[in-house]
Chain A
């Protein structure tokens, strides 16, 4: 039997494309239309790759255990821990993230999301100078000038250009693609740079300098700028500044190429102030290219519950936030955590070695449908239904638009929402009985 399901939301990246068409044959995904390669693989590689059930490390062996046993273990470890770290969350739906924040509060733990290793610096900059942004449809309909800075969008967010920027239908243009200008700023000539009207190739680590130079030109203080700034000729800077000033609506998108290079949040602060400055002349917005499908949701949920977007430490009862101290990498590198819950993310593939070593030493519980690098570090792995395939919930697009993902497949797996609620309820009972 073949079935077609329309308007499916892709749970891969922060674009949350919601026009995916899925073909099902015999209860399995057999075809994907409209998705990019990354999104299509997310759907097509699902079948046959999930763990069949929870697995527990016993010595050098993996032992199959039941969900009941897995939950018993999680309840015991988390309720007995002194400094538990609850990390990941960006592949979970907000319903699960909310339980996670309350669980951290209940057990006096630390709750942090993958934000702290991607756009954490962007948030620190926003907390200093704010964030002039907009929804992606605003860019699509109005923008005549688009900048991608430190973001190889064509490879990292392949449909961003066709759905939201350069190639998208626009209300205010007859032929949007021909009327728009695209500026790409990067340290190398990426695939994205090849479609740019203007490619600005900067020296590694030169973002702050180039942004400062552009701000000076916009403020009509270009005289102080040397002939070359971080590998960029002054003439090109003047040209770029002029394009920016002439734009009717400009939109700057930035990736981890600028958040995770030297200068970190100061780069982003400079970029935001550049955009704020341009708004005195014309309309500009700036937006981070968020990675995981619901990483922005984790920031939103943690904020309305705790007041802070990530890195919240409840060890003193109140919510305490100090990135650099209360961020997952730092807690692990200092060997403070005595238990870890890793939600649908893969620190084993991304964290520094000392952090992975520490995760391997302490009881680490991983929620993930698939085996990952973190599998090799954890004590227990619990597979759940996959959000956006056989589980539904709320996800926030990179621009803050909340969408409910679709569940289009029958499942034998419990959702992470259900399991987290069970863990929360049982630990609360343990605490109340104590």
Chain B
């Protein structure tokens, strides 16, 4: 039996409705309990901010394209090296750190759960192998369906049940968690070097549109009772004027789920551009945020851009090619047969660039204009907008108008004309931040019942204690202290053990992988469909028998069983 008592904690736990009370937290054998024995280890939180462990609901940390970002970038590996020390392996990398680098740095910031944003089903083993080497966090994998031919056939037949059968089988087969659509239809078009520019354009060689793919996937997802909703990277990422596509997409889903959103739109900053060229690009964050404000069925994440060097990586292959023709930097691409695409290129976001400055402002506008923090998660689409180590600075910007004004002074002057950032005086509270960095994620991902994102009795004892006393701190003036506090916890606990103290990993705990086993009735089993099996063997380059991910890859898997209606 292992027990810890955390005393004098300033707790904010939005899921439980605890808004900043000084209280004690009892932990036994990895779970929050009512009380512990008098002899256990005691941690004095000293009135410091104590939150459930952080959850990132959209990050790129493990898998084929992340590793390709490392592989092609020795210059980035040199930019962040630490030697083996104590319980820590060595690390390399700044924008795309090695798995241990990611894991230790997230842990230092109090994060205990990460959702890898894009796993190609066919390359799932790679993602799971890297999950096993990301020891400080529990992991989940969003699984790519944007160019999935089996799904396309079901969409073409307008057969939601068949779409659900394909999605359910695939998630179970590859030990995936949620449904990810990245530029739906566009990645298939990229197979022959094309892209789509509207959600109503027909996918080449398929009599369907992105709208059809999105709509059918949403309904199939709800039919399967998946914990998470469809997780969508909209079409037209990064194109001036793309806010129209985003608004049209926001209009697709009706409210189909009482427990969470029906559609999760990721890195919306990259999808809220007005204008028609790079010369007249402007922010349309107000229109996008207004739409979100009227749609409780939608959750977004920011995809904030922060200045400096980073690496872009996405399944959106055609977008990366466009970026390459702009930057003329090194370009990698990796199409995955019958499923999806991907691309990687390094970028530098400069505050002297009007476009980059406007992008920076748009992310902040979205977070400040979306009224309900439960509908806007704090992300950078790590590392696309910036490496996740920049999250504390984003928190500072959202909590302090003064800091925003100072920063706005430093960026390209056009930002003031082309965005509304300078006119917004909202300052987010510690509770807003707690929602946007853990509680909201737990709800959006549907993992509250797994004991994530809160400190209720029975919850997983994942806890972050930050060196800041909210009742004695004015974030709008003392933003530097707030930033410092979120950069490094006093203590990070995972599964009831102190795993990180003052920035040093002091022990590793075997992590878990949450995956969905979608239980389907016999008549929905695609393996019994001769058409499915025949097409698979003809067009995939591996045998069906070698495609499905073995249990060896999820030794510490948490199987979340779902059942159709």
Contact = CB atoms under 8 A, between A and B. Distances in A.
Interface of A: 6-7, 9, 18-19, 94, 98, 102, 105-106, 123, 126-138, 140-142, 163-164, 169, 171-172, 248-249, 276, 279-280, 282-283, 285, 299-301, 303-309, 314, 316-319, 321, 394, 396, 400-404
Given A18-B543, A142-B191, A282-B193, A307 B92 contact: yes
B333 A285 contact: yes
Interface stretch (B78-86, B267-275, B410-418): B78-86
Nearest to B344: A130
Contacts of A171: 538-539
Interface string B144-155: 000000000000
A305 B330 contact: no
A364 B175 CA distance: 41
B522 interface: no
A249 B122 contact: no
B92 A308 contact: yes
Contact of B92 (A123, A130, A306): A306
A7 B545 contact: yes
Interface string B325-357: 100011111111110000011000000000000
Nearest to A8: B546
A137 B539 contact: yes
A400 B63 CA distance: 10
Contacts of A285: 333, 335
B335 to A, nearest CB: 4
Contact of B541 (A137, A307, A394): A137
A307 B99 CA distance: 9
A321 B74 contact: yes
Nearest to B333: A132
Contact of B72 (A106, A127, A282): A127
Contact of A318 (B83, B321, B546): B83
Contacts of B540: 137
3 residue pairs, one from A and one from B, having the closest CB atoms: A137-B337, A307-B92, A317-B83
Given A127-B73, A402-B129, A300 B67 contact: yes
Nearest to B205: A172
A215 B332 CA distance: 19
B100 A401 contact: no
B550 interface: yes
B233 interface: no
A171 B534 CA distance: 12
Contacts of B64: 400
A268 B98 CA distance: 26
Given A6-B545, A404-B550, A300 B84 contact: no
Contacts of A98: 133
A30 B296 CA distance: 65
B126 interface: yes
With a 10 A CB-CB cut-off, give which of B82, B93, B126, B329 has the most chain A CB atoms: B126
Contacts of B538: 169, 171
Contacts of A305: 89, 98-100, 133
20 contacts: A7-B546, A106-B84, A128-B330, A129-B331, A131-B334, A135-B334, A136-B337, A248-B192, A279-B321, A285-B335, A303-B70, A304-B67, A304-B129, A305-B89, A307-B77, A308-B74, A309-B71, A318-B81, A318-B92, A319-B90
B333 to A, nearest CB: 4
A357 B77 CA distance: 34
B67 A18 contact: no
B552 interface: yes
Given A19-B543, A403-B542, A130 B332 contact: yes
Contacts of A18: 542-543, 546
B93 A304 contact: no
A123 B71 contact: yes
A9 B62 CA distance: 25
B29 interface: no
Interface string B548-561: 00101000000000
Contact of A135 (B97, B192, B332, B336): B336
A47 B89 CA distance: 41
A317 B334 contact: no
A6 to B, nearest CB: 7
Contacts of B545: 6-7
B430 interface: no
Contact of B331 (A276, A303, A316, A317): A276
B73 A135 contact: no
A contact patch SS: mixed
Given A135-B336, A304-B70, A307-B70, A163 B541 contact: yes
Given A19-B543, A305-B99, A318-B92, A400 B123 contact: yes
Nearest to B98: A307
B543 A308 contact: no
B345 A280 contact: no
A123 B73 CA distance: 10
B130 interface: yes
B332 A126 contact: yes
Nearest to A405: B546
B68 interface: yes
Nearest to A16: B542
A319 B74 CA distance: 11
Contacts of A131: 68, 72, 332-334
B478 to A, nearest CB: 36
A130 B330 contact: yes
A140 B337 contact: yes
A136 B191 CA distance: 13
B125 interface: yes
A169 B541 CA distance: 10
Nearest to A136: B541
A276 B99 CA distance: 30
Given A6-B545, A18-B546, A133-B334, A318 B539 contact: no
A141 B540 CA distance: 9
B552 A404 contact: yes
Given A307-B70, A318-B81, A402 B92 contact: no
B324 interface: yes
A147 B100 CA distance: 39
Contact of A132 (B89, B92, B126, B331): B331
Given A18-B542, A304-B130, A249 B331 contact: no
B196 to A, nearest CB: 15
A337 to B, nearest CB: 21
A118 B331 CA distance: 23
Nearest to B125: A402
B533 to A, nearest CB: 13
A94 B553 CA distance: 12
Contacts of B191: 138, 142, 249, 283
B334 A400 contact: yes
Nearest to A20: B543
A298 B335 CA distance: 22
B71 A164 contact: no
A133 to B, nearest CB: 5
Given A135-B334, A401-B123, A169 B552 contact: no
Nearest to B85: A317
Contacts of B324: 130, 276
A279 B324 CA distance: 11
A141 B192 CA distance: 11
A134 B335 contact: yes
B336 A138 contact: yes
A135 B335 contact: yes
Contact of A280 (B74, B77, B325, B542): B325
Contacts of A134: 333-337
Contacts of B126: 300, 396, 400, 402
A349 to B, nearest CB: 28
A249 B205 CA distance: 15
B83 to A, nearest CB: 3
A299 B90 contact: no
Contacts of A138: 191, 335-337
With a 10 A CB-CB cut-off, give which of B89, B129, B550 has the most chain A CB atoms: B129
B143 to A, nearest CB: 15
Given A140-B337, A307-B93, A401-B123, 4 more contacts: A135-B122, A135-B541, A140-B539, A307-B92
